[in-house]
Structures are given as C-alpha cells and as structure tokens.
Amino acid sequence: PQPVYLSDYQPPNYQVTHTELTFDLDPTATRVKARLMIERHSEASDDAPLVLNGEHLTLLKLALDGSPLTEADYRLNDETLRIEDVPAAFILESEVEIAPSSNTALEGLYQSNGMYCTQCEAEGFRRITYYPDRPDVMATFKVTVIGNATSEPVLLANGNPVAQGALENGRHFVTWEDPHPKPCYLFALVAGDLHKVEDRFTTMSGRQVALQLWVEQENLDKTEHAMASLKRAMVWDEQTYGREYDLDLFMIVAVNDFNMGAMENKGLNIFNSAAVLTHSNTATDAAFQNVEGIVAHEYFHNWSGNRVTCRDWFQLSLKEGFTVFRDQCFSADTNSAPVKRIQDVSFFRTAQFAEDAGPTAHPIRPDHFIEITNFYTLTIYEKGAEVVRMLRNLLGWEDFRRGSDLYFERFDGQAVTIEDFVGCMAEVSGADLEQFMRWYSQAGTPEIDARGEYDYAHAEYHLTLRQRTPATPGQPDKLPLHIPVRMGLVGTKSGKDLPLTMNGETLGKDAVIHLREYEQTFIFTDVAEAPVPSLLRDFSAPVKLHFPYSREDLAFLLTHDSDGFNRWDAGQRLAMLALDDLIAAHRNGVEKVMDSRVVEAFRTLLTGQVSDKAVLAEMLTLPSEAYIAEQQPIIDVDAIHAAREFVRQSLAMALRDEFIAIYNDNVSDEPYAPTPEQIAQRSLKNVALAYLMSIEDEQGLALCEAQFAADHNMTDVRHALTLLVHSDRDDLASPALKAFGQKWAHDPLVMDQWFTIQVTRPQLDVLERVEYLMQHPAFSIKNPNKVRALVGAFAQNRVNFHRLDGKGYALLADVVIELNRLNPEIAARLITPLTRWQRFDEERQQLMREQLERIKREPLSSNVFEVVEKALA
C-alpha cells in the first residue's frame, strides 16, 4: 500500500452537483442505482478523465447521458472506475450490486442484528457506489430506499421524507431529500424493525424541529437521557455559538455493531448503542455522562463538520478538534467544570502523551498516511481540542466567538482547511498566529523545564522556562512553539495569589505568559513574599511541565492554590514523588515505607477542606498505573503495581475511620438521577469504598456486599461487583458474578461490563479467563463492543497482559490476525499496546516484537500493515 501526501492535494476535476440513489435492499444482493449530475471544474482541462472510487462493488450497468457505456468506454480495477472522455456537464447512471450481510468491516452498507445501516466516514461510500469519494465534492442528495415491509418497516435516510408507498411482493419504499449539499461521507441509510421515541424542539428563530430516537423495541426504555441531552445540546449551541439547527427533522439511530462511538450523518446520526442507550439499572454514571457528551458532539458537528467541512482528510482535526472542544465546554457547563477538566486532562496525559511518545506519533495535521482510518486518534481529536482551547485562551472568548462566527459565515457550504479556521481567528483579533500554526505540523509532546528563584533583596521572582520537543518518527528536529502558560505566584506567608507585575505592567493575580523562544526568563517585580509558583493553570497548554517542587511546596499548593485544577495536580505530583520512591524500593528489594506527608495531605482533604464532592473524589484518586508508567523511563509493570497498591493500602489503613465516615455520609436511597450532585456523592462514596476494600477490611467487605445486594443503580452495583471480583475473596465474588451474569444475560451492553470486570482484575489468572470468555455465548468477535470489552480491556490489564511468558501478547496477536480479515479498522486499533514495546524491559521488548513480526507475516489489510510497519521501523 502506498501513502497519500498532503502536498499532492489537487482540487477535483469534476463536481457532483446532485446525487440520486435508489437502494433495493437484500442481505446478499442489494442493488444500488446512482444518477449523478456531474460538471467539470472551470479550471480543469477538457481532456481530464473522470475517476470514481469504488471497492467491493459488482458493476451491472453504466450509462452517460442515457447512452449505455461498454467495457471499451471505461477502465475498471479494484479501486477505481475511469472514463477518459466525458463532456463538460453530463449525467452518469450506474447500477451495482453489494452484499451487506457479509460486510464484517462495518464500513459502507452492512447489517447489524438484521437491520441495515451505513458508515461512510472516511472512505466507506466507495463500498456503496462508484463516486468521487472525497470530502471536497459536495452534492444535494435524493435517496429512495426499498425494503421488505415486514422486516424493514422503517426506511430512513438524510433530510426530509418526501414520498412513500407500497410496492408489489410485500415491498415498500420511502424517498428522502437532503437540501444541504454534503460530501458523501455524511450520507446515511437505515432500514429495519425500529421503534421511535419522539420529541420536539423550537429553535431560536421559532422553527419547529421533530426529534426522533430510533431503537429496537426492547431498548425503548433507554432513550430518555439521550433525548434530554440532545435538547440541552441544541439550546447550548444556540446560546454559546449562535448555531441553529437547519432541517425539520433530526434523527438518532442506535445500532449494536459499530466501529466507533457515533457518526454525524446529516440529519441522521447513527450511534453505537453503547453511546446512546442508558437506564439507571444498566448504565453507570460515567456512561450517562459519556452519552451526553457524544450526543452533543455529533449534534455540534452539524455546523463544525457538516455545514463547513474538511477539504481533505489531512484536515480532519479541523472538524474533530473544534467539535471535541465544543463538547468538552458543553459538558463542563452542564456538569462540574473542574471535574470535567480534571478527567479530560487526566485521560489526555495518560493516553495522548503515550501516543506522542510511541512509533505512531503524528502531528494534528499529518502530512501523509496510508490508511486514513488509522488517523482517528487521540492526537487528531484530543490534542486538536487542546489547540483550539489555546486559541480561545489566547484570544479571549469574545474574539474567539467572533472568529467562529466569521468562519461559519464565510465558509458555509464549503470544504476548507485549518488555515481557513485559524485565519478567521487571526483576522478578527489581529493576533499573530504564525508561530502558533506549528502546533498543527509538529508532532510530540513539548516539555518545559521551569526554574524559579526569589530574590529577597529586590523583591523579585525570576522564572526561567525552557522548552524542547523530543524527536518523533520523521521529525528529528523541532522548532520552538508558542506556548501560553497560565500562572500565579502563591505567597507562602499569606497563602494567597500575589499581584503579578512584569516590566512595570500589572497583570493581575493570574496571568498568561507567552513562551515563544527555546528559553525565556520572566521577571516579576514587587513580589512581597517568597512564593510557590502555580504553573500551567487549568492545563493551559498540552505540555509536560517540570518544576523542582518540594513535597512541602506541593502540600502547600494542594490546600492553597486558587486554581482547582492545579490543586488537584499538586496532589497528583505529591503522590508521584512517593510512588517514585516506592517503585525504586521495590526494584531494589528494599522495604517500602509510606511517606507520611502524603498521608497527612490526604487526611487534610478528608477532614473537610474541599467542598465540591466530585473534585474531592478526584483528589483522593491516585494516578493510574498507566499514568505512572508514562512517567517512567522504562516501564516496570510489577513495581508500578506493587508501589501503587502499597500506597492505597497504607492510606486505607491510616485513614480507615475517615473513609468509613465518608462512606456513611454519602449513602443515599434517593431514586437514581444522573445529576451532578448525585454523581458527586456516589463517586466520593465509591472512592472511599475502594480504599476500604484494598485492605479487605471486614467493615468494608460488609458495606461492599450490602451495596451490591441493594441493587439500587448500576453505578453502585458495578462498583461493588468490581471491588469484590478484584479482591482475593473469591468466595464472595463468584456467586455475585454468577448472579449478575444470569440476571443480565439478555442485555449485551451489561454483558460487556460483566466481561470487563472479570478481565481487569489484578490476580494472575486473567489470561485463562479471557480464553474461556471468548467462548461465551454473549461474546462475538464480529462485534466491536465485545472485542473492546473483553480483549481490549485485557490489554489494559498491565500485570496480566505483560506476563513474562508472553502469552498475553500472543493472545492479542491471535485476535488481531483474525480481525485483520474481518474488520481491519478494529484490528489496527487493537494492536496499539504492542506498538509501545520500546517502553518496556528487554525481555518484554523481545516478546512483543515477536508478536508484531508474526502479525507482519500475514497477508495484511492496509490498516494493520501501516501500524505494524511503523511499530517495527
């Protein structure tokens, strides 16, 4: 497979102005008729050939302006259909046959639980019909879907229904029209035995929009939260960005087999059922919040993605980075803003930093790829969102909003680039964003080494910041970035933020300084007392910041920093210092001793300094093993696990009574609601329970069993079950696990949780459980949710996946090899943990490489090929 380069971009020679499709559905022989109105681009040469994409299609008919074409008139291969000689404007008609029931890749038209659905982004439309499958070709669509009236009573596509009726042989049809020109990746079709929940929304200009959520019958009671989330998102986008919905109908459909979370098809969003269905008995608080965020994300794409789309797939972060930023802000406004930021950053620093440090590191705008599907990454999405957030912070909200208005107005109905977006921001604000653009082209996580010195005699504080970005594949040398560092100086006597003065200018108590050079010293004057600097507040840039804080400094910031995010981060840094010592002790076979300063810091937290319970729950949560691993030069899986367990148990023993008190104070029998208040209470209570269970405290065990037995809501039940299964008390865990599995055998989303709970336990019997559970009737390798819940979750279980006999790696490779044939997109994602081999000890490096080599010897999809090739480079 050959890479595509951004620098080779050429505008299309032909535009499709209008597309008419007719689908005659059949599991093994669906007929797709296309009627395309095509025009040559004014700048294209007269003899430019027409080249259409098409894969896995059987061509039955082809006609140009009504005249049938014969094989002499065109050239066909596995990927393209090429017609040399075409007029400046013409109608091309084609008919192809496809087989949705054998489409296990879940791209194009496929079947899920008997129902038909589509996934076209990025390049799936070429599996439906011959077409210029690229986002800068935008057409209006008219689509007729013909199906069996009994098995497919519901026939959906984008836009508004304009005609419907009965046909012979028990068949019927519905015709849909979408008046908004769109690229084909936003096309969607759904057909099946679906049931709807309906609501209404009145837009800010007073238009009525019908909202429909389509699900299988048994899921009708799981739609309320998604519908409520949708309405909140619609209001938020009007109030925050002035964006109104633009069709009379907005539909969401839930399907069980879906590669990603969801897809923003115009007017017809298709969702992985896991990303839309919730019920208090089946979904956790985290799932409720996830659903709210994804529903909002896909809805927000209607403007940031659909009305204004990407010129080419290198610009993917244009729509994804901006839309993630929008959904993050929505969730922050709807729930607890500090907790949302803490959770997002915590995930980002664990997973995106790891991606940046590995062999698949790439810029937010890559300059080449083999398989675009491999680039739906944390870098494109989450780092892209961090960069948009930096723009918001650099410009301030008002200018950012004016830039966004200009962007939507100027480029409405167009396919554009990242320069177009940033250009609008620069134009409205007058800001110089030239150096800032490097964030889009330079890969890797920048590191800032900070040093500070207080000069008593002159009442000055000197802060020196040095930046460097480590080399990444293909980018050995890095240029300095424009990094906004939000900061304060916290007085050690007063415990308060000190006024900041630089070069005679008063900056307030919380300011943004701009690091643009490799090294810069910032001198603050009139600093009345010795301060501790609070740097990178609210994670103002996606970087690693190092400062030689003492443990006393961190304990001080933990209680005095005015920035909630940095208070949390001080706690994490303090815990990391203790963990580092313990990891070293474990490696050296020295007895582990708990740092009493950490215990005292936690005691202070537990005895009432923090009023926001959700924030407190986050502050009491230790850095994850994955995050700790990211901080180590070489990952020692066992030492990390042992050190973290030691800290957990030491805290639990020292603060047992406090944890019991917290638990008891936060038990509630109120009816379940996914409100921020209830979620905060549950998370705090459950953090306390986890500490108690880490020492298998009798009282903790009793509370845990009671919480499971009370069966009040899935958050509490799942947490209690997880703690039991992850404890050494198999006598209690086994019956609970069995009861849970029997109770929910009919519900695939709950069974996914049942799988995950079992394969994330730390005991060393997990590999055998995975093998056993892969034979369970509720498991299917063809369903991406199942693969993620069982195999994906196992590969995150660090002590078990990284077993020294290499069996964990071999198991993952077996599954990758099988999925490479069935679903290359999921196969390529699943390899990720193996690609990180360079981070481990030599023995494990060797074992991981062996499995990568084994995969490489297979006949590979381009998806898996690209990842394995990079991993072994």
Binding partner of residue 263 among Zn ion, ligand B3K, none, CB cut-off 5 to 8 Å per kind: ligand B3K
| 786 contact partners, CB below 8 Å, separation of at least 6 | 748, 752, 755, 778, 779, 780
Is-catalytic flag, 320? no
Binding partner of residue 121 among Zn ion, ligand B3K, none, CB cut-off 5 to 8 Å per kind: ligand B3K
CB 249 within 8 A of CB 210: yes
Catalytic residue (choose from 264, 298, 618, 825): 298
Is residue 292 a contact residue for ligand B3K (CB under 6 A)?
no
Q: What DSSP state is assigned to residue 481?
A: P
Closest residue to ligand B3K using C-beta atoms: 121
Is residue 295 a contact residue for ligand B3K (CB under 6 A)?
no
CB 477 within 8 A of CB 444: no
80 forms beta bridges with 53
Count the neighbouring beta carbons within 10 Å of the beta carbon of residue 506.
11
Name the minimum Å distance from CB 386 to ligand B3K.
16
Is residue 184 a contact residue for ligand B3K (CB under 6 A)?
no
Q: With respect to Zn ion, which residue has the nearer C-beta, 320 or 625?
A: 320
The interface with ligand B3K within residues 314-333 (CB under 6 A) comprises: 320
Is residue 569 a contact residue for ligand B3K (CB under 6 A)?
no
Name the minimum Å distance from CB 336 to ligand B3K.
24
Name the minimum Å distance from CB 664 to ligand B3K.
42
Task: Fill in the per-residue mask, 797 to 836: x = in contact with ligand B3K (CB under 6 A), - = not in contact.
Answer: ----------------------------x-----------
The interface with ligand B3K within residues 109-138 (CB under 6 A) comprises: 121-122
Report helix, strand or coil for 58: strand
514 forms beta bridges with 484
CB 132 within 8 A of CB 220: no
Q: With respect to ligand B3K, which residue has the nearer C-beta, 124 or 833?
A: 124
Name the minimum Å distance from CB 368 to ligand B3K.
18
Name the minimum Å distance from CB 298 to ligand B3K.
5
Report helix, strand or coil for 787: helix
# residues near ligand B3K by CB under 6 A: 14
Question: CA nearest 714: which of 272, 285, 276?
Answer: 285
Is residue 364 a contact residue for ligand B3K (CB under 6 A)?
no
The interface with ligand B3K within residues 224-283 (CB under 6 A) comprises: 259-260, 262-264
CB 130 within 8 A of CB 63: no
Is residue 866 a contact residue for ligand B3K (CB under 6 A)?
no
Name the minimum Å distance from CB 106 to ligand B3K.
9
- Which of the ranges 11-19, 313-321, 481-489, 618-626 carries the binding residues for Zn ion, by CB under 5 A? 313-321
Binding partner of residue 718 among Zn ion, ligand B3K, none, CB cut-off 5 to 8 Å per kind: none
- Which of the ranges 275-283, 318-326, 580-588, 796-804 carries the binding residues for Zn ion, by CB under 5 A? 318-326
Alpha carbon dihedral 113, 115, 120, 126, in 10-degree steps, equals: 110
* DSSP structure string for 730-742: HHHHHHHHHHHHH
Give the separation between CA 836 and CA 359, rounded to whole angstroms: 7
Give the separation between CA 485 and CA 769, rounded to whole angstroms: 47
CB 378 within 8 A of CB 372: no
Name the minimum Å distance from CB 872 to ligand B3K.
24
Give the separation between CA 319 and CA 247, rounded to whole angstroms: 20
* DSSP structure string for 137-187: --EEEEEEEEEETTT--EEEESSEEEEEEE-STTEEEEEEEEEEEE-GGG-
- Which of the ranges 209-217, 317-325, 656-664, 757-765 carries the binding residues for Zn ion, by CB under 5 A? 317-325
Q: With respect to ligand B3K, which residue has the nearer C-beta, 770 or 828?
A: 828
The interface with Zn ion within residues 323-362 (CB under 5 A) comprises: 323
Question: What is the Cβ-side half-sphere exposure of residue 414, based on CA atoms within 13 angstroms?
Answer: 12
Name the minimum Å distance from CB 197 to Zn ion.
24
Question: What is the Cβ-side half-sphere exposure of residue 223, based on CA atoms within 13 angstroms?
Answer: 22
Q: With respect to ligand B3K, which residue has the nearer C-beta, 100 or 305?
A: 305
Binding partner of residue 376 among ligand B3K, Zn ion, none, CB cut-off 5 to 8 Å per kind: ligand B3K
Is residue 298 a contact residue for ligand B3K (CB under 6 A)?
yes
| 677 contact partners, CB below 8 Å, separation of at least 6 | none
Per residue, the 3-state secondary structure of 313-374, as one string, reads HHHHHHHHHHHHHHHHHHHHHHCCHHHHHHHHHHHHHHHHHHHHCCCCCCCCCCCEECCHHH
Binding site for Zn ion (CB under 5 A): 320, 323
Catalytic residues: 298
Binding site for ligand B3K (CB under 6 A): 121-122, 259-260, 262-264, 297-298, 301, 320, 373, 376, 825
